[in-house]
Amino acid sequence: MAILCSSVGPALSLKKLIIPSKPASQSFTFTNSIQFANLFHFLTMNSISKPESRSPSLSKSSASASTTSTSIQHDQVPGLGSEEIHSIANQTFRSYSSSSSSPSRTGKGTAIVWFRNDLRVLDNEALYKAWLSSHMVLPVYCIDPRLFSTTYSFGFPKTGALRAQFLIECLDDLKKNLIKYGLNLLIRHGKPEEIIPSLAKAFEAHTVYAQKETCSEEVNVERLVSSGLRRVVLQSSSSESRSGTFTNNPKLQLIWGTTMYHIDDLPFDTGNLPDVYTQFRKAWHDDD
């Protein structure tokens, strides 16, 4: 239960929540796809008990791989400077909480943050809404085995050496940032549609927050997760539940955050999206 930590309490602490630390300068070495899977399995096994020793162990695991393979080694991309981070964080903090209509944190129970492609703490609306609507926040990342399969059309591998290394470095950085603010990233190996509902039931989470994706495979996983959550029955804390007559289900709340313009701000129905850019531009100008 150590992974289930209360997020920051007072409003001022929200500013800290959205300021990530500068990524440490480090490197990892990978040689083949089997090693990637082993490293991800290692992440899963050590995501709770030994977060501080994961990076050295990863390097040691990498060094023990086959010496006949050609190693690929890349340094982590440097992060923003401290002044840049604080400037961005201040702007984000004001946009979330400086308005007179900004809600205060009054939520109860547990909320799950399902991290997908948005492996960041800075300006993460799903994380913010989970914090706002709950008393406890559980961050989760699922290492989907389908990520290491091949594409449907031509059988190309979905994950190569560089992508696997980048993903592990992102998870490492995300975990460190969450630990700084009283949270811990739970990393599980398996399909999200199996893991997320089981966690929601185990921790009695009322909502699962995640960033909305647009590609077909990711959207299909969203449907499967939502369907799985509907089969999870939670006992309500109300007086009706004590009599055994009232139950509810965890909800999947998807947050739009992958485009420059929010989908709700478009001046046309997304079901009738223009086929060419000229029509798209004219729709914007006509709306102005």
CA gap 43, 37 in Å, rounded:
10
Per-residue pLDDT of 235-246, as tens digits, reads 765 434 444 434
| 287 within domain boundaries | no
Name residue 142's beta-bridge partners.
188
Which pair of structure tokens corresponds to residue 40? 């991800």
Higher pLDDT, 29 or 231: 231
| 5 within domain boundaries | no
The CATH number linked to 199 is 3.40.50.620
| 165 within domain boundaries | yes
> What 3-state DSSP class applies to 74?
strand
Domain count within the chain: 1
Which pLDDT score, from 0 to 100, does residue 206 have?
Answer: 95
Per-residue pLDDT of 199-214, as tens digits, reads 999 999 999 999 999 8
Q: Please give the span between the terminal C-alpha atoms of the chain, in angstroms, as a whole number.
A: 52
Per-residue pLDDT of 119-129, as tens digits, reads 999 889 999 99
List helix spans (H) across the chain. Answer: 13-17, 33-46, 54-63, 82-97, 125-132, 161-180, 192-203, 216-230, 239-242, 277-287
| 80 within domain boundaries | yes
List the one residue out of 137, 15, 12 whose CA is nearest residue 86: 15
pTM over 0.75: no
Which pair of structure tokens corresponds to residue 219? 């959207």
Written as one string, the DSSP assignment of 206-219 is EEEEEE---SHHHH
Least trusted range by pLDDT, from 1-15, 41-55, 71-85, 260-274: 1-15
| 220 within domain boundaries | yes
Per-residue pLDDT of 28-66, as tens digits, reads 333 344 444 555 454 444 443 333 433 333 333 343 444
Band of residue 130 on the pLDDT scale cut at 50, 70, 90: very high
| 149 within domain boundaries | yes
| 119 within domain boundaries | yes
Domain of residue 94, residue span: 13-257
Q: Is 231 buried (19+), middle (13-18) or exposed (0-12) by CB count in 10 A?
A: exposed
pLDDT exceeds 90 at position 194: yes
Which pLDDT score, from 0 to 100, does residue 76 have?
Answer: 43
| 265 within domain boundaries | no
Which pair of structure tokens corresponds to residue 187? 């990393």
